Structure 1
Amino acid sequence: MARSRGMHSIHNRLFLLFLSCMMALLIVGSYLYYRSTTEIIHDKIGDMAEKNISQTAGLFDLLLEGYDSVTKSLNSNYELLRLLELREKEKNPAVSANIERSITNILGAVFYSRDDIIGIHVVTHKGKLYNYEKRFAGVIDPDYKESGWFQKLKQSSGEMVWMGLYDGSVINTMQEEPVFVFGRQLYDLNTYKRIGVVFIETDPKPIMSALSNVTISPNSRVYIADNEDRIIATTENDGVAAPSFSGLPRPDRDHVIVDNRTDQLIVAARAELADWTVFGLTPKADINAEVVKARKYLLIVIVLFVMMSTALASLISRNIASPLKLLIRQMRQVEMGNFKGTVNVNSFEEINSLVSSFNRMVNRMDELIERITLASISEKNAELQALQSQVNPHFLYNTLDMIYWMLDERENDRLGRVILSLSHMFRYSSDWQEASRTTLRQELDQMRHYMTIIENRLEGRVRTEVQVDDAWLDITLPKMTIQPIIENAVKSGLEPVNRPGLLRVYTETSGQELHIVIEDNGIGMDEHTLTALQTALLDGSSTPDRDDGQEWSADSGIAGASSAMKRKGIGLPNVHRRIVLMFGEQYGLRVESEQGKGTTVVISMPLPSKGRMIDEHTDRR
């Protein structure tokens, strides 16, 4: 179970989620990179091989064209052809020697016209041999006439015969260096009579250098093959079996073939002048060497990326999970009733906002619990004080009702109204068992009953104006809120003046607050008394009772607040405290006064929504 819970923790879940996402991206990215890199490498190598073999075929054409021009120059040399025919007819040894010397000079001139010529050989149709060589001149193979190359050359009809590369001279037994051999028939240009053959041996380095241009790896093999699949030249060492050219592709003229369908990359191009095909064969294992390097590099990058992703996933998941764990731990403390702790973290903005909201919620819950406790104590005290002031209320209700009916029978309406108002006031103020909350409508009714008594007692010296919007008549407020303020205004502010007094009660709104304003034009208060009262209200907002057991009483008055510690009652601090406990610290009583001009008491409470007013009123019913 513990292991299962661990796997389902937010830390492990975030770690696995982040790591899985990174691995998925890494796998997809690596696959696409590897595939793209492989294709690019193969395409570049293929393009390079195609370009190289095309250039090589062009070099061969240029090289063979030069060789062809050398043989043509000999075949078109009238002096050489005349001397060859003359030598065949001449019997005089001295003249023959001069003719042979002239022939050798002509061959020497051609020999020195190019650096790559090793030997020039002319054989007449009667078997006379003329040579011009770098070294070992005159050491002739006596069996050369029976060799295949000579027979092929002799049977040709004037076209160039490319005999290919040989390990040594085909006619000079002392010349063991590799040579490239080619030749043609010699004809009299006038009579088209066959005179003999000429064949030239050249240094094969230019051809081998051109062949090496086709290689793209150390294991590449290059071959030159004729139409009969005979190898003319190759870069392959002796002893290595040559491939079967019959199965290899043969390109057309001016075309290059690139074939990578087998385990080798095969490129082929045609040398037009000799009708040769140049083949380049490269194992794909060599081509994939670059791919292997890219694969190793990619594997190293993947390992490093996995390590970094793991560390990063652990760090991020820990940074997210740690503050949430602290929050969960503190929530368990709240479940057990501890509202004093707070969570302090410095993480992501959303988590910081969540933790701040949690701290505010816990503090608010703590304040609400304390407020409910204080409200309960205050209500109980007010109820106890009201109950203590009652003396057999049912007996008094009945007695007051009896007095009212006796006065009504004697047609004493004025005194009857006073008695009836007193009965309503007493019944309202002493009934705390139904609810400690009431509506503004009921509070105003209570105020009117009280003012009926006061107006009759003062005989017109006090006049009351009530201007309350009907929209606020059903709002909820603590019971006995307005009457104590009215009583203070009448007894301490309006009664002492020797002029008509005016008491105004009206409502106004300010932002999200509703103000019930009670204003009189009485004697007012001096600055010291006003300050003392405001201080008492401020202290009373956080303490349910004064230390001496007394409060600013309802009958103490506002103007005489400095000497009004007379008896316990539901005074202004009590009213203020109960409003604070019901609505919050920012609400309550606000008192302003100016001596000689009057006093204004503002009851501040939150502006209720229509739905909440209807619900609260319905609940009370």
Structure 2
Amino acid sequence: MNSIHNRLFILFMSGMLVLVGIVSVLYYQRTTQIIHNKISDLAQKNISQTVGLFDLLLQGYDSITKSLNSNYEMLRLIEERDSSTEQTVNIFNERQITNILGAIYYSRDDIVGIHVISSGGKNYNYARNFDSVIDANFSTTEWYQKLQDSSGEMVWLGLLQGSVINQFQKESMFVFGRKLFDLSDHRVIGVMLIETNPQPILAALSNVTISPNSKVYIVDQNDRLIATTAEDKQNIPSFAGIQRPEVNKIIVDDRTDQLIVAARAKMSDWTVVGLTPKGDINAEIVKTREYLYYVLVILIFLATALAGLVSRTIASPLKLLIREMKQVEMGNFKGSVNVNSFEEINSLVSSFNRMVYRMEELIERITLASMSEKNAELQALQSQVNPHFLYNTLDMIYWMLDEQENDRLGKVILSLSQMFRYSSDWQEASKTTLRQELEQMRHYMTIIESRLEGRVQTVVDVKPEWLEVIMPKMTLQPIIENAVKYGLEPLREQGVLRVWAEVHEGDLHIVVSDNGVGIEEGQLQGMQALLTEDFVAGEGLRSARAAQQLEEGSVRPRRGIGLTNVHRRIVLMFGESYGLRITSKREEGTTVTIVMPLPRKGDHLA
């Protein structure tokens, strides 16, 4: 959580999610409102068209009844037949009346039957599959009473199951009728009843439906069902709580679990009511919500990718800069950061690269100065070695000349010449190989063996693979000199000097061992302590206490000068982990181990 990448990602992602959430909520609310308004407008248009179509049908039916009521010939024949007793005339008149009814019947496809009942009880019918009037007590039926109670207006009896006249007609019918009046004196001469196919009415009602589960009802002012598109005609909802609209007015009510749309027909006191479940209305909203969910998932995915890209664009250059800083912290000044990001980050990276370059340049200068200082110190240290050896060699030559041993003198002078030549060549920054050091040691031992007359025996056991190891020049000679002078010369018997090389714990150990008199415990501890102190002294930081000991000679004996010198030169060349290790036992001998790093592949003396 503390990384800039994660924080930028979370910040950007949170902002995007909040923005997407707000936009989604507003979009959903607005879309829901639009859908509700759209459905409400659609329902109003549908019911308005339905009521208009319904009024047109009723007007057509009203025209049929008016045409019959104004047919003078049919009214005359009905009155004449009621008053005539002649059978032939009655039959002829009945046929004429039936023909007039037939003409009206065939004028429209939706008429199922036309029935006229005179005041004298005569029936005239024109219908499909009509045999006879089955109900002889029709005068006491409800529909007949409604027609009789009317004052001449159209009486809409509604959608009935089967014919009220023809018992054999079981199909649903839309039934209406009116009284018949004499045109001259306005006497009631009978009633007419027309039965029509209900499909035009139901088709008109179906226009109100806005979903498969919508149901449309026609109810009168007493909440009696006239017609419906519902298949279940037994479980009819209550219409008592529905407000009755005025003519040319539409009522829309969505306060319940159903959308209620109501309108009133002009030709009757009937109200058309449409009921649509809210679940059907919300189906489109549900689809919109599902679509919105898909869009949200895609937007979240895109926001995540965009947040990751933005945070990575900012954080990646900074991470690269941090990694390079860690490299600089570990001492690697060779790298540089190359990025192409924001202007501020590019400026920061450029400043870092310039800083590292200047640090590298400064370190290189310091390194060159330090190398020059170390080389000067090596030269100064090396110059301490030659006077001691030169003094001893000149002393030996003096005694040999005195004894006039010319052959031995020739060998000694030759070895001395080789040693002077080797020690005076410092072109390779005081570096040499173990092979050359061993060769120099043999020249030195030639001189020593001549001086000690065979009292010292030298054994060298170094594998050829280590002969090309690089080491400081004049490393073995001071160690050999100390071993001979302080270890083997005081010995009354023949001394043995052994030199060998071995690998120990990943380092190369060159061991110089003698079987001389050894070193006293206190003196050995003092020498080991001086070697430890010289780790610091070798870096140019010698303490005042070490300098005082050098002047007073209180700790460092004469024999320690050469060993400390060699130790410091090894430390300067290879590091503080390397140098000399001294062990000794009184009357048993002394061992000096030169610890150096194993040569890497390809290392050689340039």
Aligned counterpart for 1:33 among listed residues 22, 27, 42: 27
1:245-304 alpha-carbon deviations (Å, 9 max, x no partner): 221021111111111111111111111111211111101110000011111111122223
- The within-5 A match list for 1:259-274 is 259-274=253-268
Residue 121 (structure 1) aligned with residue 80 (structure 2):
no
- Could you say which residue in structure 2 is the equivalent of 1:222? 216
Report the alpha carbon displacement of residue 17 of structure 1 after superposing the two structures with TM. Answer: 1.1
- The within-5 A match list for 1:398-547 is none
Residue 176 (structure 1) aligned with residue 175 (structure 2):
no
Residue 156 (structure 1) aligned with residue 137 (structure 2):
no
CA distance in 2, matches of 1:274, 1:73: 19
1:399-452 alpha-carbon deviations (Å, 9 max, x no partner): xxxxxxxxxxxxxxxxxxxxxxxxxxxxxxxxxxxxxxxxxxxxxxxxxxxxxx
- Could you say which residue in structure 1 is the equivalent of 2:129? 135
Report the alpha carbon displacement of residue 198 of structure 1 after superposing the two structures with TM. Answer: 0.4
- Could you say which residue in structure 1 is the equivalent of 2:355? 361
Do 1:342 and 1:359's aligned partners in 2 also have CA atoms closer than 8 Å? yes
| 1:142–1:353 Cα change, 3 Å | farther
Residue 45 (structure 1) aligned with residue 54 (structure 2):
no
- Could you say which residue in structure 2 is the equivalent of 1:245? 239
Q: Supply the AA of the counterpart residue of 2:283.
A: A
Aligned counterpart for 1:94 among listed residues 84, 88, 93: 88
Residue 145 (structure 1) aligned with residue 139 (structure 2):
yes
Do 1:153 and 1:184's aligned partners in 2 also have CA atoms closer than 8 Å? yes
Report the alpha carbon displacement of residue 374 of structure 1 after superposing the two structures with TM. Answer: 9.6
Q: Supply the AA of the counterpart residue of 2:218.
A: I
Secondary structure at 2:46 match in 1 = helix
Secondary structure at 2:240 match in 1 = helix
- The within-5 A match list for 1:52-63 is 52-63=46-57
Aligned counterpart for 1:297 among listed residues 291, 294, 298: 291
Mean Cα displacement is larger for which, 346-355 or 64-73?
A: 346-355
Residue 286 (structure 1) aligned with residue 280 (structure 2):
yes
Secondary structure at 2:230 match in 1 = coil
Q: Supply the AA of the counterpart residue of 1:242.
A: I
CA distance in 2, matches of 1:351, 1:135: 99
TM-score by length of structure 2 reads 0.58
Q: Supply the AA of the counterpart residue of 1:32.
A: L
CA distance in 1, matches of 2:226, 2:336: 93
CA distance in 2, matches of 1:165, 1:260: 28
Report the alpha carbon displacement of residue 14 of structure 1 after superposing the two structures with TM. Answer: 1.2
Q: Supply the AA of the counterpart residue of 1:138.
A: S
Q: Supply the AA of the counterpart residue of 2:30.
A: S
Do 1:131 and 1:137's aligned partners in 2 also have CA atoms closer than 8 Å? no
Secondary structure at 1:242 match in 2 = coil
CA distance in 1, matches of 2:232, 2:161: 11
- Could you say which residue in structure 1 is the equivalent of 2:191? 197
CA distance in 1, matches of 2:74, 2:330: 125
Q: Supply the AA of the counterpart residue of 1:200.
A: I
CA distance in 1, matches of 2:60, 2:131: 25
1:292-349 alpha-carbon deviations (Å, 9 max, x no partner): 1111111122223223322332333233222211211222344555543312334445
Aligned length: 372
- Could you say which residue in structure 2 is the equivalent of 1:529? none
Do 1:144 and 1:150's aligned partners in 2 also have CA atoms closer than 8 Å? yes
CA distance in 1, matches of 2:241, 2:204: 24
Secondary structure at 1:206 match in 2 = helix
1:471-499 alpha-carbon deviations (Å, 9 max, x no partner): xxxxxxxxxxxxxxxxxxxxxxxxxxxxx
CA distance in 2, matches of 1:142, 1:310: 86
Secondary structure at 1:245 match in 2 = coil
Q: Supply the AA of the counterpart residue of 2:201.
A: I
Secondary structure at 2:314 match in 1 = helix
1:204-231 alpha-carbon deviations (Å, 9 max, x no partner): 1110000000000111010111111111
CA distance in 2, matches of 1:240, 1:286: 23
Q: Supply the AA of the counterpart residue of 1:118.
A: V
Do 1:224 and 1:279's aligned partners in 2 also have CA atoms closer than 8 Å? yes
- Could you say which residue in structure 2 is the equivalent of 1:343? 337
CA distance in 2, matches of 1:186, 1:118: 20
CA distance in 2, matches of 1:94, 1:37: 77
1:51-88 alpha-carbon deviations (Å, 9 max, x no partner): 00000010011110010010011111111111111111
CA distance in 2, matches of 1:349, 1:142: 107
- Could you say which residue in structure 2 is the equivalent of 1:66? 60
CA distance in 2, matches of 1:137, 1:205: 24
RMSD of aligned Cα (Å) = 2.3
CA distance in 1, matches of 2:354, 2:241: 87
Report the alpha carbon displacement of residue 190 of structure 1 after superposing the two structures with TM. Answer: 1.4
Report the alpha carbon displacement of residue 35 of structure 1 after superposing the two structures with TM. Answer: 0.9
Residue 22 (structure 1) aligned with residue 16 (structure 2):
yes
CA distance in 1, matches of 2:207, 2:86: 54
CA distance in 1, matches of 2:192, 2:349: 104
CA distance in 2, matches of 1:133, 1:349: 96
Aligned counterpart for 1:318 among listed residues 308, 312, 319: 312
Residue 209 (structure 1) aligned with residue 217 (structure 2):
no
Do 1:139 and 1:174's aligned partners in 2 also have CA atoms closer than 8 Å? no
Q: Supply the AA of the counterpart residue of 1:84.
A: I
Do 1:85 and 1:195's aligned partners in 2 also have CA atoms closer than 8 Å? yes
TM-score by length of structure 1 reads 0.57
Q: Supply the AA of the counterpart residue of 1:244.
A: S
Q: Supply the AA of the counterpart residue of 2:46.
A: N
Report the alpha carbon displacement of residue 239 of structure 1 after superposing the two structures with TM. Answer: 4.4
CA distance in 2, matches of 1:18, 1:238: 58
| 1:130–1:277 Cα change, 3 Å | same
CA distance in 2, matches of 1:290, 1:341: 63
Aligned counterpart for 1:80 among listed residues 63, 74, 77: 74
- Could you say which residue in structure 1 is the equivalent of 2:228? 234
Do 1:120 and 1:131's aligned partners in 2 also have CA atoms closer than 8 Å? yes
Q: Supply the AA of the counterpart residue of 2:253.
A: D
Secondary structure at 1:51 match in 2 = helix
Secondary structure at 1:247 match in 2 = coil
Aligned counterpart for 1:105 among listed residues 89, 94, 99: 99
Q: Supply the AA of the counterpart residue of 2:153.
A: E
- Could you say which residue in structure 2 is the equivalent of 1:258? 252
Q: Supply the AA of the counterpart residue of 1:79.
A: E
Report the alpha carbon displacement of residue 127 of structure 1 after superposing the two structures with TM. Answer: 1.7
Secondary structure at 2:163 match in 1 = coil
Residue 166 (structure 1) aligned with residue 160 (structure 2):
yes
1:179-204 alpha-carbon deviations (Å, 9 max, x no partner): 10000011112111111100100111
**Unaligned 5+ runs, structure 2:** 372-606
Q: Supply the AA of the counterpart residue of 1:140.
A: I
Percent of counterpart pairs with the same letter?
66
Report the alpha carbon displacement of residue 376 of structure 1 after superposing the two structures with TM. Answer: 13
CA distance in 1, matches of 2:349, 2:126: 105
- The within-5 A match list for 1:6-17 is 7-17=1-11
CA distance in 2, matches of 1:104, 1:316: 92
